[in-house]
Amino acid sequence: MTNLYCSQGHQNPPGSRFCLQCGEKIVATPINYGIQPGQSLSDRYVIVRQLGQGGFGRTYLAEDTNRFREPCVLKEFSPQVQTPYVVQKAEELFQREASVLYRLQHPQIPRFREMLRVNLQGKEYLFLVQDYIEGQTYNSLLNSRKQQGLTFTELEVRQLLQQILPVLEYIHSLGVIHRDISPDNLMLRTADQLPVLIDFGGVKQVAATVASQYYQSGSVTSPPAATLLGKIGFAPPEQMQTGIVYPHSDLYALAVTVLVLLTGKQPQELLDTYNLTWHWRREITVSSALGQVLDKMLSTASSDRYQSARQVLLALNPQPVNYPETQPPISYQQTQTLPPSQVPTSGTVAVSPPISPSLPASSSSPPSRWTPTLTFFTTLVVAGIVGVTWWGINNGKKINGSNPDVTASSTPSQTQTQDPLANYSPEERRRKQKLSDRRQQLGIDYNFYIGLVNQIFWQENPNLKGRTLTDSPDDESAREKWDQTAAKLLNKLESISSKSRRLLGTYTSAERDRWKVAINQVNVGSRSLYDLGDAAFLRIFPEQRSQDFIDEPVGQVWYAIVNDKFNAIVEGSALAKIVFDTGATSKTVSGTLSPGGGKVFIAELAKEQNMEMELEANSQVLLSIYSPSGKVTLLQDSKQRNLSTTLPESGFYEFVIVSNASQAVDYQLTVTAENPPEPEPTETPTEEPTEAPTEEPTPTPQDTP
């Protein structure tokens, strides 16, 4: 007998009626029409099992034999009506949908591989092939918790928002709207515990469009009911009524998803459908800050909602980083291609604006001119190099055959429809395109990046402070210097993890409090964490040594690096415990440090013990030793190689080793701890016993004659 699977893909033994992991009732859904486990499609994809079934086809787990049997997902679309017209039109639309998915290169979105066309038993099937994500949907996680009488906490949904909003910001910057956000379409990935956005609404839109065009062709006289894009209750009312979507449509659905996770109830139980008002506060209590954010995301009038994911992120962080706006080194004029009703009120954008211009929040925004299949409501090209943002609806046209983030400027006399790159040489165009692609690939926030590059540019070129550049050939040399600074920064930021890098621009001082509480749980103090972070930060920004940079844009880079070190300590890769072998009083640990690398060792020692430390390492390796309470610093950023002392406290002592070397260096640390010798007992001198004097016998009286 074969194993059984629930809709979430959990494996259960034969005969199971309910899923052993999530409790879902298992309904037998045998695979038909010839697609069976073990079958190979296109001589490449071997079907493992069926993962689920929707209104337009099934989803399968498969192995890619061309990639060492790597797991992948095949999403099927099978038109119910099989005519040459329908099949051809479906493939055309699928090609266009695939081109959209192909553009989405984000670590929290399954990577699109290819479109597959297969003929099975005379019937045509189309598949989208994507990466397989190992994990559980948030719907499955919620169901598991509800069985225990639990739901998600405010802290957990805040973390979810912080981690998924940058993903939405990314897809929206490309003009893509998900349209179907719900707990079913968010997965918690097992590998790194990050949320992953799955199942974009494009496939459903393709199906609806094919059906619509088929029935309009005259082949059938009575068209079917319209296909709703988005789940009822999750999608905003205007999306369900008109099908028109904007970035705030996804934000509305995300807010509903958060309410479902917090309350454990479905939207219909929280929404008054008569007047479209939400009554979720009857079910739960959250902080006023989060409550206000959710209420704004859920506003009935779309113009009252946040219009971008970045706005929500800033609202969730009450102390946003204030980038310096005084003395901007360069100001670029804004070049746009906008309908007259959407031209921003300001015609000039400085290099370092705190917030980029956004589309006006209006419920009467013009409908999309794109075919619904492409899920675009506008062509949004986020300027990634120098403070210019090109917005607009261009009916799918590209600027000179490309779609770049542009470093452009124009004088006030230039028209708003001019090509931002028109005055640039081919070499400069290529340079800016390369930098733009790199910034987007790294997932670096536009506004933060502009502020960071400006700050470093000021320091490197103080003679250009306050200067305003144009896109004229006269300023080409200065623009090249700015681009060179940008390129160097991109290379430096590459060393930061993707997760920490995408939060650049949102870190606050509250992050340090969170770090401190968490690492104290593993007997490490915040000074040890900062030692690791400082070493890595100053390796790539040595000019910041002794500078007060924490509130500058470059301070955000410090936060991101320290966040990586924090994760490394918690996960154990940057933390080790020194444990003495039974009966031993000395322990030696060794390893190799990469440039700017470091490691924390902790050893549980006792007060009054005699400790000796010996470090064998390059002179560029620094050592710090902190007491358990942190009140006593035995060494700090020291090149000292030997230490002998009597310990002042009992508890875990921290030994922090960091490298300032430009190459990898080896180290060997020996710690010896001995109890003080016990004093020998003091002997009390004893007197030699004296013999009692021998008494002469008393003469007895002699009898006298």
Annotated binding-site positions for ATP: 75
* 340 burial via Cβ count (<10 Å: 0-12, 13-18, 19+): exposed
Rounded Cα distance, 673 and 608, in Å: 10
Rounded Cα distance, 358 and 489, in Å: 26
Rounded Cα distance, 528 and 636, in Å: 10
Q: Which two tokens stand for residue 584?
A: 């031993």
Binding residues are: 75
Q: Could you tell me whether strands 598-605 and 575-577 are parallel, antiparallel, or unpaired per DSSP bridges?
A: parallel
Nearest residue to 496 (alpha-carbon basis) of 443, 437, 575: 443
Rounded Cα distance, 186 and 195, in Å: 6
Q: What is the largest CA-CA distance in the chain?
A: 177
DSSP H or E run through 218: none
Q: Which two tokens stand for residue 87?
A: 């099949």
Give CA 172 to chain center in angstroms. 16
CB 420 within 8 A of CB 335: yes
One-letter-per-residue 3-state SS of 264-328: CCCHHHHEECCCCEECHHHCCCCCHHHHHHHHHHCCCCHHHCCCCHHHHHHHHCCCCCCCCCCCC
SS3 at position 222 = coil
Active site residues: 180
One-letter-per-residue 3-state SS of 536-552: HHHHHCHHHCCCCCCCC
Rounded Cα distance, 526 and 34, in Å: 60
Rounded Cα distance, 440 and 335, in Å: 20
> How distant, in Å, are the alpha carbons of 408, 443, 487, 502, 561 from that of 494?
25, 10, 11, 11, 11
Ordered DSSP codes for 554-585: HHHHHHHHHHHHHHHHHHTTTEEE--PPTT-S
Q: How many residues does the chain have?
A: 705
Strand-pairing partners, residue 577, are 602
> How distant, in Å, are the alpha carbons of 386, 428, 466, 476, 593 from that of 473?
16, 11, 19, 5, 47
Rounded Cα distance, 448 and 500, in Å: 14
- Contacts of 660-665 with CB under 8 Å at 24 or more apart are 660/535, 660/538, 660/539, 660/596, 660/620, 660/621, 660/622, 661/593, 661/595, 661/618, 661/620, 661/621, 662/595, 663/595, 664/592, 664/593, 664/594, 664/595, 665/592, 665/593, 665/617, 665/618, 665/620, 665/621
Rounded Cα distance, 334 and 409, in Å: 6
Ordered DSSP codes for 595-617: TT-EEEEEEEE-TT-EEEEEEEE
